[in-house]
Amino acid sequence: MVPLRDGGQEPALTWDHYKRVADVPDTDGRDFGTVADRVVGELWDFFRVEPEWREQAERRVYNACPKLITDMHYEARVQAVRTYYGKRLGTRLDKKQARTIWLTEQQYIAVIPWWCAPHRDCWEYFVKRWCDPEWQKTHEACRERRLKMPGPAHHQGNLTLDEYATRWSRAHEGRECPPLMAWAMAHKGKATSIEVDYNPEDPPEAYSNPTFHTRLSQYTEMGREKHGPEWNPSTEDLDGEIIMRVGGGKKHCRYWIGDNTLDTASTPTLSQIRARSSSSAPPIRPRPSAAQIQFDQAQAQLREEMEAKLQAQEAKYQAQL
């Protein structure tokens, strides 16, 4: 439990909670400063990284942790449902089934996981939250919004973007795969698929989710506005400033394009961009929602259909003259 300024306590629900709590020395006498730093520091007890990559690896870990914390709490409820059905009802559920099932407060309490058993007050906090009708309503609304996505988020699986690019190159006779190409193709299909290739002229339907086509188009448009009409985004490194401008900054700890590929140390913040921007610089655009992108795409498609219909009618009229 994390102490609050008003004297109360609450579980460590976010990464900010971890950063707020001071660390204590372990049996080896190590004190990392904060619990957040301990989480990252203890990672290297189990993994190794080349010294020249250590700093970049740590930045990646720190960037990934905020979402991992929220995912951990989400998965805790799903696993509690699966555990209850398995141990108490003798029924095996997969995660997809468990996500739509809500237990009672007593049922959640009955399957407190081992890692939370020493902190029963934390588990009770989670349970009250899960059983709150307003929280459930918000949860279901978010779930419905995710289900409306027309396709999967990406086809990387558990690969990093660099690993996806390497695997794609091996499957395509050693062709180079720069970051933007890898990001685009990861939203089209598996790296080992011979049919997956990058073509800037591909329509939205070529991607697993048409919104990614919009992102690429906006990034390319602003890149050419900044670097000139001959600028080719598929052969250049990702431009962090353009991504920040076209995506309205970093939202929910994620960049608009190439989230895990950008170097956060060299990518400017919105405040830094605003401070050095001139009147001729590309504007900082508000990030559109997925629903807005789909609406705009539907409108564009409707306009194209109307134009095609008008052209067909005009051709028919001319033929009758």
For residue range 280-304, list pLDDT tens digits in order: 888 888 877 666 666 776 777 788 8
Residue with tokens 């190794």, as numbered in its chain:
48
DSSP state at residue 22:
B
How confident is the model over 217-229, as a mean pLDDT? 88
Q: Is residue 201 part of a domain?
A: yes
Q: Is residue 306 part of a domain?
A: no
Mean pLDDT of the chain: 85
Give per-residue pLDDT as tens, 103-158.
999 999 999 999 888 889 889 999 999 999 998 888 888 777 766 665 556 677 77
Share of the chain above pLDDT 90, in %: 21
DSSP state at residue 277:
-
Classified as helix, coil or strand, 34 is strand
On whether the CB atoms of residues 12 and 4 are closer than 8 A, the answer is: no
Q: Are residues 270 and 165 located together in one domain of the fold?
A: yes
Q: What is the token pair recorded at 274?
A: 């605003």
Q: What is the pLDDT of residue 113?
A: 92
Q: What is the pLDDT of residue 293?
A: 65
Best CA proximity match to 80, nearest among 93, 66, 65, 67: 93
Q: What is the pLDDT of residue 64?
A: 85
Strand-pair partners of 3 = 9
Residue 37: domain span: 2-147
pLDDT-derived band at 81 (thresholds 50, 70, 90) equals very high
Q: What is the token pair recorded at 54?
A: 């250590």
Q: What is the pLDDT of residue 198?
A: 87
Most confident of 4-18, 56-70, 100-114, 205-219: 100-114
pLDDT-derived band at 77 (thresholds 50, 70, 90) equals very high
pLDDT beyond 80 at 264: no
Q: What is the pLDDT of residue 134?
A: 92
Residue 242: which residues within 8 A CB-CB, separation 6 or more? 219, 222, 223, 226, 282
CA distance 118 to 313: 75
Q: Are residues 142 and 50 located together in one domain of the fold?
A: yes
Q: Are residues 65 and 132 located together in one domain of the fold?
A: yes
Q: Are residues 80 and 113 located together in one domain of the fold?
A: yes
Strand (E) or helix (H) holding 3: strand 2-3
Q: Is residue 215 part of a domain?
A: yes
Structural domain total, the chain: 2
- Beta strand 9-10 with 2-3 is antiparallel
Q: Is residue 302 part of a domain?
A: no
Q: What is the pLDDT of residue 317?
A: 79
